[in-house]
Structure 1
Amino acid sequence: MLRPIIRNLFPAWLAGMVIFLPLAAQQPPPKCGMAHRLETYAAATPAERALLKENRRAQQQGLTETYLSPSGHFLIYYETSGIDAIPDYDRNSDGTPDYLEFVAKAFDRAWEVE
């Protein structure tokens, strides 16, 4: 019954083809790795968790600067030198890199929207 309808709707060369439609129940791919990080942390042994905490603490000690977003909701850690340094361009010469101001405003805007 459906075959004649398909042949009327599509050219002859399409009538014999199988058409795959996306499944509605299929989940979109995750856009953030946080869920994976939480699962990994939950499955870790106490020794592994201690190692992860020590590694994180060592990383944070290397952070040289902090910046409080204009709303006061976010404290942003950043580096001014090395491979992880943010761009130091400051068009308005206020002493704060433009990149840092942009990041802080973006976080504040996300806070407002949520």
Structure 2
Amino acid sequence: MAVYVVGDIQGCYKPLRRLLAKADFNPKKDQLWACGDLIGRGTQPLKTLDYLISLGHSFQTVLGNHDLHFLAVTAGVRPAKKVITLTSFWIAPISANMCSGCDSSLWRSNRLKALY
């Protein structure tokens, strides 16, 4: 079993998948740990989160400032910034299930740790 650690995925789905393929990552036997900012500047935040969620218990993470900002905006605790690159979340049907009240198994699981 190997443990891979990545940081600042930023919603960059394709580069993440290329990196994991190059490392020969196998979710059946390996672990992937992410050091925050799962979403952010990349163009595929929803696809990225869908993939990470699909990894189940082979995936562990801490939340970064982009992730916490998104949750705060979704919860109505904080206003959205003028330029936000999470457009696919706002129009995606899964958005409400993924964010509202932290219903998603990933967002509410003990696999996510918020660091301040």
For the aligned pair, the TM-score class normalised by the smaller chain equals under 0.3
TM-score, normalised with respect to structure 2: 0.24
**TM-score normalised by L of structure 1:** 0.24
Which one has the bigger strand percentage? 2
Q: Looking at secondary structure, tell me which structure has more helix per residue.
A: 1
Q: Which has the larger radius of gyration?
A: 1
Higher relative contact order (CA 8 A, sep 6+): 2
